[in-house]
Amino acid sequence: MPESTVGHLVSDDETAPRILADDGAVAPAPVQGESPRSGGTRGLLRTLASKYALIGVWAVMALYFYAQVPDTFGTSGTFSSIFGSQQVLVFLAMSALVTLVVGEFDLSVAAMMGITATVIPVLAGVHGMNIVLACLLGVGAAVLAGAVNAFFVVVLDVSSFVVTLGMATLLTGVAQLVSGSTIVSVSSPGLAKIAIGDVLGMPVSFWYGIALAALIAYVLAWTPLGRSMVFVGANAEVARLAGIRVHRVRFGAYVVAGLLAGLAGLVLVATVGGFDSSTSNSYLLPALAAVFLGTAVVQPGAFNPIGTMVAIYFLTTGIFGLQLLGYAGWIQNVFYGAGLVVAVALAKVVRDRSRAR
Q: How confident is the model at residue 56 (pLDDT cuts 50, 70, 90)?
A: confident
Short-list 296, 283, 287, 306, CA closest to 351? 296
Confidence of residue 357 (pLDDT cuts 50, 70, 90): low
Q: Please give the helix or strand (H or E) that residue 26 lies within, else none.
A: strand 26-28
Where does the pLDDT of residue 218 fall: very low under 50, low under 70, confident under 90, or very high at 90 and above?
Answer: very high
Does pLDDT of 7 surpass 60?
A: no
Task: Give tens-digit pLDDT for 132-169.
Answer: 999 999 999 999 999 999 999 999 999 999 999 999 99
- Of 290, 293, 308, nearest to 346 by C-alpha is 293
pLDDT (average), residues 233-261: 95
pLDDT, residue 252, reads 96
Q: In whole angstroms, give the CA distance from residue 216 to residue 292.
A: 16
pLDDT at 177 > cutoff 60: yes
Is residue 285 scored above 50 in pLDDT? yes
pLDDT value of position 356: 62
> Do 172 and 265 touch, CB atoms closer than 8 A?
no
Give me Rg for the CA atoms of the chain. Answer: 25
Q: Is the pLDDT of residue 354 over 70?
A: no
Q: How far apart are CA 177 and CA 278, in angstroms?
A: 11
pLDDT reading at 222 higher than 80: yes
Average pLDDT over residues 251-257: 97
Sign of CA pseudo-dihedral 194, 196, 200, 206: positive
Q: Does domain 56-351 have CATH number 1.10.3470?
A: yes
Q: Mean pLDDT, the chain, as a whole number?
A: 84
Q: Which ranges constitute the DSSP H helices of 30-108?
A: 40-68, 70-73, 76-83, 87-101
- Which pLDDT score, from 0 to 100, does residue 38 have? 47
Q: What is the pLDDT of residue 351?
A: 63
Closest among 144, 125, 50, 116 to 349, alpha carbons compared: 50
| Confidence check: pLDDT of 101 > 80 | yes
